[in-house]
Amino acid sequence: MKSPRSPRKKPVQDRSQITVEALVDAAARIFRAKGFEAATTNHVAELAGVSIGSLYQYFPNKLALLTAVRDKVHRDFLERMIVACDLGCGLLFEQAVRGMAETSAVFYGENAGLYRVFVVELPASSAANSKSLPGLRYQEAQARFFQVHAAHVRIPHEQALFFTRNAGAAIMQAAVMNHPEKLRDGSIATQLTQAFVAYLSGAASGAVAKNR
């Protein structure tokens, strides 16, 4: 039995793919502007320029549309972070970490309204699979980043990947819900940079050990 969050069918032909992309883009604009409750599938179909029947061929309800929007936003985030990782390979370590923190904060700030809807309406579901192509490419980009900056990363790279990915996501989501303005004014990026540089360089561990 399919979840109500699942698409009714997946597009195969180019024309179908274009229709689905138009629907997802329209849904994102409407959810961002109106929120989940006020949005309707009729609004989405009208903005996308397709019939309501065409919408229901692919999405059985608003929740399925919202899930598709969430997955697209997550893919877009990964693409931004891949670019930030690659750029960071050519920068000094702290500048590189700052660039990645800023990229993440700016993206969450731009999409704060949507992320709040995701948290409320899709609380128990995870974003697009980390084993998807963008997810795997992001993991590879992170691995390259840590390899290039290996002299500054004093903890095991697998541990560093796990911590930075999950801690960063948790902080961004908390900021979206409670302090979205701090995503835009740079303060979250600054604090995240300081925390990650200290953690990755081993300074945070050294400070804890010293105070014991």
Distance CA(83)–CA(77), nearest Å, equals 10
Instruction: Read off the pLDDT of residues 94-108 as tens digits, 9 standing for 90 and up.
Output: 999 999 999 999 999
| Interatomic CA distance for residues 23 and 21, integer angstroms | 5
The 10s digit of each residue's pLDDT in 7-49 is: 555 655 668 899 999 999 999 999 999 999 999 999 999 999 9
pLDDT in tens, 52-104: 999 999 999 999 999 999 999 999 999 999 999 999 999 999 999 999 999 99
| Res 131 pLDDT > 80 | no
Q: What is the pTM of this model?
A: 0.85
Name the band, by pLDDT with cuts 50, 70 and 90, for residue 127: low
pLDDT at 141 over 60: yes
211 pLDDT higher than 70:
no
pLDDT(209) > 50:
no
